[in-house]
Amino acid sequence: MQPYFNKVTQAGYDKIAAEIEAAKQDRPGKIKALSDARALGDLSENAEYSAAKRDLRHLESRLRYLKKQLKYAQVYEPADNAVIEIGKSVTLQFEDDQSKEVFELVGNPEADIANNKISLSSPIGQALLDHTTDDVVTISSPNGDYQVKILAVKKVIS
């Protein structure tokens, strides 16, 4: 069976790699905190030991998750055209109220709606994929269908 690779932008790949390095740098401090708490004595009533153990477990779990994300990530380089794909910035006009919004299409691990970074597996990302400037696209969302007009598509330079 072939492994499934998640398409990500170069910036997303670099961000995951940087988080792994930061976690690796944090690991010795967590191990020292655990050993210091263990030295305090009775482990059954030692809150510092329990907290340090939990923190180290959380860090190790996050490291395993990030390493797996990186292992199955495939850096995707978008074409220099007006077709919507990962790594492109899209300016949309919502047909109901004529408001405009700019989104960046990214891979699943790097989606961040607070910063207008949406993944292609989101309802809006799926609907926009492979469309181009001046297309009117119907987006099906949990709150109902709505239409957007694609005003501009640009390759994101990171």
Looking at the domain assignment, is residue 136 inside a domain? yes
Per-residue model confidence as pLDDT tens digits over 97-127: 999 999 999 988 889 999 999 998 888 999 9
Looking at the domain assignment, is residue 121 inside a domain? yes
Looking at the domain assignment, is residue 32 inside a domain? yes
* 96 and 67 both lie in a single domain: no
Domain that holds residue 43: 6-75
The tokens for 127 are 């609907």
* 70 and 100 both lie in a single domain: no
What's the rounded Cα separation, in Å, for the pair 32 and 35? Answer: 5
- Is the model's pLDDT at 78 over the cut of 70? yes
How confident is the model over 70-80, as a mean pLDDT?
90
Looking at the domain assignment, is residue 1 inside a domain? no
Number of domains the chain is built from: 2
Looking at the domain assignment, is residue 62 inside a domain? yes
* 14 and 60 both lie in a single domain: yes
Per-residue confidence band for 142, with pLDDT thresholds at 50, 70 and 90 = confident
Per-residue model confidence as pLDDT tens digits over 41-65: 776 777 888 899 999 999 999 999 9
Helices (H), the chain: 10-38, 47-71, 123-128
* 71 and 94 both lie in a single domain: no
* 62 and 94 both lie in a single domain: no
> What pTM was estimated for this model as a whole?
0.79
How confident is the model over 56-75, as a mean pLDDT?
94
How confident is the model over 70-83, as a mean pLDDT?
90
pLDDT value, residue 49: 87
CA proximity to 90, closest of 80, 100, 98: 100
Per-residue confidence band for 135, with pLDDT thresholds at 50, 70 and 90 = very high
Looking at the domain assignment, is residue 97 inside a domain? yes
Looking at the domain assignment, is residue 113 inside a domain? yes
Residue with tokens 């987006």: 139
Backbone angles phi, psi at 86, to 5 degrees: -60, 140
Do β-strands 100-106 and 88-94 pair in parallel, antiparallel, or remain unpaired? antiparallel
pLDDT value, residue 46: 76
Neighbours of 49 (CB within 10 A): 21
Looking at the domain assignment, is residue 83 inside a domain? no
Among 34, 50, 75, the domain boundary falls at 75
Measuring CA to CA, how many Å separate 20 from each of 60, 62, 112? 10, 9, 19
What's the rounded Cα separation, in Å, for the pair 52 and 33? Answer: 6
